[in-house]
Structure 1
Amino acid sequence: MSPTVSIIVPIYNAAHTIGRCIESILTQQYTDFELFLVDDGSRDGSGIICDAYAKRDSRIRVIHKENSGVSDTRNLALDLAQGTYLQFLDSDDWITPDATSSLVRAAEANRCDLVIADFYRVIGERVSRKGDIEEDTVLTREEFSAHMMENPADFYYGVLWNKLYRRDIVETHHLRMDPDISWCEDFMFNLEYIRYAERFYALQIPIYYYVKTKGSLANQSLTIAKTVKMKLMVFEYYQQFFKTVLDEEEYQRCRPKVYRFLVDAAGDGAVPPAVLPNSKKLGAERSRVAPELLSGSGPLHNAYRDRKLLEQYLETAALKNDLSLQDITLLLALRELEAPCTRRDLADFTGLTRGSLSFSLQRLAAKELILVENLKDIETEEKLLRVSFPTTSAAVFQDLDVALEDARQASQAGLTQEERAQYEALSARIQSNIRSILQ
C-alpha cells in the first residue's frame, strides 16, 4: 500500500546536521510516509549515517549517487516517490513534530493542491517566525499569485520546504527541477506547479526551521556573466508566468510589481546579520519538554507527561489562531467550566497566576473569543466571572477539538478497540473515586 506522503531530503556533506534532520522526521506525529535520503556523492560520512538510520526504520530509503547537484538529486527521488503528497527538506534544517500532520490535514480538509506554511528562520541561537499570507481561506491561483507578486523573491514563496504538493499534478505535467539552473531552481519549479494548481491554502503555523548556512552565488564558482544571464532567464520566466495567470489589462496594471522581482532577487534571500525582529532564543519558540522527566515514575511524572502531551497538541491550535499556549489552555478551561467562578478558583484550575490569568482573559476578549461578565454571589458577596462565547470562537473550538482528539489518539496508540473501551471505563471509575474523596 502506497504511503500518503513522500518526504525527500537531498544530502551533500551534511554529517554534522543530517541526524537532527532525520530525527525530526522520524518523530513526526504523522507516521504514514516514506523517506528518501538521497546522498549526492558526499565525502564526509553522510551516507554512512543515512544507512544506519535506514536499518532502524523501514520507511527510509537511502540512495547513493555520484555528485550532480541538488536539482538532479531531487529529481531522482521524484522518479521513485509513491506518495499522494510530496514534502521536501534540506539536510541542515529540521521540522516541528506537527509539521507533516498539519500540512496533510490542511490539504485534505480544504481539498487544495498546494499548502504553504509559515517557518522559523534560524540564525545562531536566535529564531524568528516568517510568513506572509494571513487569509484563513482557500485561495484561487489568481489570488495566490497576487500575494506572491507583493513580495517577489521572498523565500516564503520561492522555496520547496514550507509546502506540500500533490504528486499527481507533478507527474501529470512532468514537472522536475532544472539541473542547468543553480539559482532560484526551487522558485522555477514552484512557478510551473502553480500554473497547474487550482486551490491554495496558507497554513499559519510555523512548521520548519530554516538555518541560513547555505552558500550564496558568490561561492558557487559562477562567473558574473553567467550569474546575470541566469537571473535574467529566471526573470523572463517569472514575467511569462504572470502573463499566463493574468489577462493583458491586469498584467499591464501590475507590471511594476512584477519588475520588482529583479531588484528584490539581487539579495539572494540573504538573512540580515543583525538580531532578527521579534526573535526568540532558539528553543523558547515552543513549549519545552525535559527528556529527563519523561522516563521517571510516580504520580507527578505521570501528571507531567499527561500535561506535556496535551500541550504539544494544543500548541498547534494556538499557533494557527495567533494565541499563546497559555491563552488556548485558558480557553479550553473556560469551555469546560459550566458555572461562574471566582478568579482565584479559575487561576487554581488552570495553574496560572492571577496576573497571567488577567492578561490572557484580556487577550481572549480583545480577539472576540470570549465575553466576560462580572457578577457577585448574593450569599457570599464574592466576585464571580461568567464567560460566554460569541460565534467568532467556533472556529477555534473546532481546532481545540481536533487537538484533543489527536492527543487522545496518540496516548492510546496500539490499543485495540476493546482495550480502549476498557481504559475509558476504568478511567471514569477512577475519576469518580477521586471526586468523591475530594468533595
Structure 2
Amino acid sequence: MEPSVSIIVPVYNAGKTISRCVDSILKQTCRDFELLLIDDGSTDHSGAICDDYQARDSRVRVFHQQNSGVSAARNLALREAKGEYLQFVDSDDWITPDATASLLRAARDNDCDMVIADFYRVVGERVSPKGDIEETGVMTRQEFASHMMENPGDYYYGVLWNKLYRRQPVMEHRLEMNPAISWCEDFMFNLEYIRYTQRIIALQVPIYYYVKTKGSLVSQSVSLSRVVRMKLAVFEYYNQFYRTVLDEEAYEKSKLKIYRFLVDAAGDGVVPPGILPGSAKLGTERFHVNNDILAGEGPLFDQFRRRKLMDRYLETAALKHGLTLAEMRLMLYLRQIPAEITRGDLADFVSLPLRTCWALLQKLVSRGLVDVSPEGSTREKGGKKLFRITFSSQASPILADLATTVLDYRMTMMAGLSQEEIGAYNATSEKIQNNIRQVL
C-alpha cells in the first residue's frame, strides 16, 4: 500500500542539523508517510547519517547523487515519490509533531490540491510565528492569487516547505524544479503548480521551524548581468501566471499590484534577520513535556501523560482559532458538563481555582463563543446558584475541531491494538470507573 505523504529532504553537508530534522519527521503523529533523503554529494558525514536512518526505519529511503544542486535533488525525489501528497523539508529546519497530520487532514477534509500553513521564524534562541492569509475557507486559484498579489515577495508564498501538494498534478504535467535558476526556483515551481489547482486552503497554524537564512545572489558569486537576467525571467513568469489565471479585465485592474513584484525582487527574497512581532524564547512557543516525569510510573504519572497527550492535540486547535491552550481546554470541558452547573462545580471539574476558571470563562464570553445565563435567570440548588452555559453559533468550527481532537486522542491511545484488545480495554476501563464512582 502506497503512503499518503512523501516527505522530501534534500541533504548537502548537513551533518550538524540533519538528525534534528529527521527526528522531527519520524516523530510525526501521522505515521502514514515515506521519507526521501536525497544526499546531494555531501563531503561530510551527512550521507552516512542518512544511511543509518534508512537501516533503522523502513519508512526512510535514501538516494545518493553527485553534487548537482537542491533543484536536481528535489527532482530526483519527485521521480521516486510514491505518496498521494508531497511535503518538503529543508535539512537545517524541523517541523512540529502535528505538521504532516495537520496538512493532510486539511487537504482531505476540504478536497484541496494545496494547503499552505503558517511557520515559525527562528533567530538564535528566539522564535516568532509568521503567516499571511487569515481566510479560513477553501479558496479558488484566483482567490489565492489575489492574496499572493498583495505580498509577492513573502516567503510564505514563495517556498515549498510550508505547503502540501497533491502529487497527481505534478506527475500529470511533469512539473519539476528548474536547475538553471538559483533564485526563486521554489516560487516558480509554486506558480506552475497553482495553474493546475482548483481548491486551496490556508492553515493558520505554525507547523514549520525555519532557521536557514538563504544566501543572496551576490553571496553566490553570481554576476550582476546574470542576476538581472534571472530576476527578469522570474518576473516574466510571474506576470504570465497572472495573465493565465485572471481574465483580461481583472489583469488590467491588477497590473500595478502585479508589477510590485519587481520592487520586492530588489530585496533578493531574503527573510529579514530582524525578529518578528510576538516573538518568544525558543522552546516556549508550544507546551512543554518534562521527559523525566513522562517516564514515571504510577497513577499520577498516568494522569499526567493522558493530560499532556490531550494538550498536544488541543494546542493545534487552539492555534488554529487564536485561543490559548487554557481557553481551548476549558472549551473542551464545557462541551462535557451538564447544561446547568455551579461556579464551584465547574472550577472543580476543570481543576482550576475558582477565580482563574471564571476569568477564562469570561474571556470566552467576550470572544462571543460562550453565553452564560445572567444573574436574574439563575436557579438555585442546595443554596448555590446554577448557571446555564451554552455555546454560540460562532463556536461551531471550534466544537468540530474539538470532536476531531478527542478522536485523535483516542486513536493514539488505541494505536496498534486489535479490535479484541480494544474491546477488552473498554470493558476493563468501565469496571474501573464504576469502582471509582462507588467510592466517590
Q: TM-score, normalised by structure 1?
A: 0.97
Structure 2: which amino acid aligns with 1:256?
Answer: L
Counterpart mapping for 1:325-340 below 5 A: 325-340=325-340
1:34-69 CA distance string (max 9 Å, x none): 111001111121111111111110111111111111
Quickly say closer, same or farther: Cα 1:422–1:260, change in 2 above 3 A: same
Equivalents in 1 of 2:273, 2:208: separation in Å? 20
- Which secondary structure does the structure 2 equivalent of 1:196 belong to? coil
2:415 is aligned to 413
1:253-286 CA distance string (max 9 Å, x none): 1111111111112223433333421111111111
Equivalents in 2 of 1:272, 1:399: separation in Å? 34
- Which secondary structure does the structure 1 equivalent of 2:116 belong to? strand
Residue 374 of structure 1: how far off its partner (Å): 4.1
1:139 is aligned to 139
1:20 is aligned to 20
1:286 is aligned to 286
- Which secondary structure does the structure 2 equivalent of 1:24 belong to? helix
Residue 32 of structure 1: how far off its partner (Å): 1.1
Equivalents in 2 of 1:260, 1:364: separation in Å? 41
Quickly say closer, same or farther: Cα 1:44–1:214, change in 2 above 3 A: farther
RMSD: 1.5
Equivalents in 2 of 1:172, 1:336: separation in Å? 48
2:239 is aligned to 239
Asked if structure 1 preserves the Cα contact closer than 8 Å seen for 2:169 and 2:196, the reply is yes
Equivalents in 1 of 2:91, 2:434: separation in Å? 50
- Match 2:391 to one of 389, 392, 395: 389
Equivalents in 1 of 2:324, 2:342: separation in Å? 23
2:438 is aligned to 436
Is residue 2:266 matched to residue 1:266?
A: yes
Equivalents in 1 of 2:269, 2:53: separation in Å? 32
2:358 is aligned to 358
2:114 is aligned to 114
1:292-312 CA distance string (max 9 Å, x none): 111110111111111111111
Asked if structure 2 preserves the Cα contact closer than 8 Å seen for 1:36 and 1:77, the reply is yes
Residue 372 of structure 1: how far off its partner (Å): 1.1
Quickly say closer, same or farther: Cα 1:198–1:378, change in 2 above 3 A: closer
Q: Share of identical aligned residues, percent?
A: 60
Structure 1: which amino acid aligns with 2:299?
Answer: P
- Which secondary structure does the structure 2 equivalent of 1:386 belong to? strand
1:193 is aligned to 193
Asked if structure 2 preserves the Cα contact closer than 8 Å seen for 1:40 and 1:69, the reply is yes
- Which secondary structure does the structure 1 equivalent of 2:175 belong to? coil
- Which secondary structure does the structure 2 equivalent of 1:267 belong to? coil
Deviates more, 1:67-76 or 1:205-214: 205-214
Equivalents in 1 of 2:138, 2:36: separation in Å? 30
Equivalents in 1 of 2:257, 2:380: separation in Å? 64
- Which secondary structure does the structure 2 equivalent of 1:220 belong to? coil
1:160-192 CA distance string (max 9 Å, x none): 011111111001101000000000000000000
Deviates more, 1:117-126 or 1:376-385: 376-385
1:124 is aligned to 124
Counterpart mapping for 1:26-425 below 5 A: 26-375=26-375, 378=380, 380-425=382-427
Quickly say closer, same or farther: Cα 1:311–1:45, change in 2 above 3 A: same
Q: TM-score, normalised by structure 2?
A: 0.96
Equivalents in 2 of 1:139, 1:228: separation in Å? 34
Residue 214 of structure 1: how far off its partner (Å): 3.1
Equivalents in 1 of 2:381, 2:408: separation in Å? 42
Quickly say closer, same or farther: Cα 1:304–1:381, change in 2 above 3 A: same
Asked if structure 1 preserves the Cα contact closer than 8 Å seen for 2:92 and 2:212, the reply is no
Equivalents in 1 of 2:412, 2:430: separation in Å? 19
Structure 1: which amino acid aligns with 2:18?
Answer: I
- Which secondary structure does the structure 2 equivalent of 1:415 belong to? coil
Asked if structure 2 preserves the Cα contact closer than 8 Å seen for 1:365 and 1:371, the reply is yes
Equivalents in 2 of 1:422, 1:30: separation in Å? 25
Equivalents in 2 of 1:268, 1:381: separation in Å? 69
Equivalents in 2 of 1:271, 1:137: separation in Å? 27
Q: How many residues align?
A: 438
Quickly say closer, same or farther: Cα 1:141–1:422, change in 2 above 3 A: same
Equivalents in 2 of 1:148, 1:77: separation in Å? 27
Residue 398 of structure 1: how far off its partner (Å): 1.0
Residue 107 of structure 1: how far off its partner (Å): 0.8
Residue 340 of structure 1: how far off its partner (Å): 2.8
Long gaps (5+) in structure 2: none
